[in-house]
C-alpha cells in the first residue's frame, strides 16, 4: 500500500509589512493624501498619484503613516530602512521585557527539618530572581490522612518563614492528592 508522503509546512512567518498592515507605493488606493516629504516638511494635500510620482522621482517609497486621519497621511521615505529600524526597536523592546517564570518546589509530609530548610533557601533564591514559586506537598497512598494536619502545618510554617521575603498569592489549598500554595516576590 503506497500512500502519498505529504509533508506539512509550518506556519509561515509574516513579513513586517504584512504584520503591521502598512501600505506602500501602489498599494495606497486613496484619491488624496496628506504628504510629508523625506526631510519631514509638509507638502499638503495632494493626489495619491502625484505623491507616488514625487516619491519615485526621489528614488524613495511612498509609505502610509496614518490611515485614520482625513485625508490619510503618507510619507516619502526609504521603506527598507524604516522596516530595519522598526525591527531593531522590536528586538530592543523584547530584550528589556522581564519574563516571570513559575518555579515549583515539591515536599512530602515526612520531609525532615534539614531538607525543609534547604528547600526554603531554594525558594528564597527563586524569589530573589523575581520568579513565582508553586509550593506543593504531595500525599501518596495513606498519607492523605495527614493533609489537614501535618501537611497544612508544614505549609503554614513555610509561609511564616517566607513572609518577609515574599507575598502569599494563594494560601494552601487541596488540589486532588496534593496541597498547593503560590508565593511571589515583593514588588
Residue 130's alpha-carbon distances to 85, 103, 112, 117, 127, in angstroms, are: 31, 11, 27, 20, 5
Kindly state the helix (H) or strand (E) to which residue 133 belongs, with its residue range. strand 132-138
Question: What pLDDT digit, counting tens, does each position of 55-96 carry?
Answer: 888 888 888 888 888 888 888 988 888 889 889 998 888 888
Question: What pLDDT digit, counting tens, does each position of 22-49 carry?
Answer: 788 888 888 888 888 888 888 888 888 8
pLDDT at 88: 92
Question: What pLDDT digit, counting tens, does each position of 127-176 carry?
Answer: 888 889 999 999 888 888 878 888 888 888 888 888 887 888 888 888 88
- Rounded to two decimals, the pTM is 0.51
pLDDT at 20 exceeding the cut of 70: no
The residue among 2 and 184 whose pLDDT is bigger is: 184
* Residue pair 71/82 in contact by the 8 Å Cβ criterion: no
Q: Could you tell me if residue 73 is left (phi over 0), alpha (psi between -120 and 50 degrees) or otherwise beta?
A: beta
pLDDT at 19: 54
Amino acid at each position: 500500500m503506497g500512500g502519498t508522503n505529504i509533508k506539512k509546512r509550518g506556519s509561515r512567518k509574516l513579513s513586517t509589512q504584512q504584520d503591521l498592515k502598512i501600505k506602500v507605493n501602489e498599494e495606497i488606493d486613496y484619491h488624496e493624501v496628506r504628504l510629508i516629504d523625506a526631510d519631514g516638511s509638509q507638502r499638503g494635500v495632494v493626489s495619491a498619484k502625484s505623491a507616488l510620482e514625487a516619491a519615485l522621482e526621489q528614488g524613495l517609497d511612498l509609505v502610509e503613516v496614518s490611515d485614520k486621519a482625513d485625508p490619510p497621511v503618507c510619507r516619502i521615505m526609504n521603506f527598507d530602512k524604516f522596516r530595519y529600524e522598526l525591527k531593531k526597536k522590536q528586538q530592543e523592546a523584547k530584550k528589556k521585557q522581564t519574563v516571570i517564570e513559575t518555579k515549583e518546589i515539591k515536599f512530602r509530609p515526612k520531609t525532615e527539618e534539614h531538607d525543609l530548610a534547604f528547600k526554603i533557601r531554594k525558594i528564597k533564591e527563586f524569589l530573589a530572581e523575581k520568579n513565582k514559586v508553586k509550593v506543593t506537598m504531595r500525599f501518596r497512598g495513606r498519607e492523605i490522612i495527614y493533609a489537614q494536619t501535618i501537611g497544612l502545618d508544614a505549609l503554614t510554617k513555610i509561609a511564616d518563614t517566607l513572609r518577609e521575603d515574599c507575598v502569599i498569592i494563594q494560601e494552601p489549598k487541596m488540589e486532588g492528592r496534593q496541597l498547593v500554595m503560590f508565593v511571589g516576590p515583593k514588588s
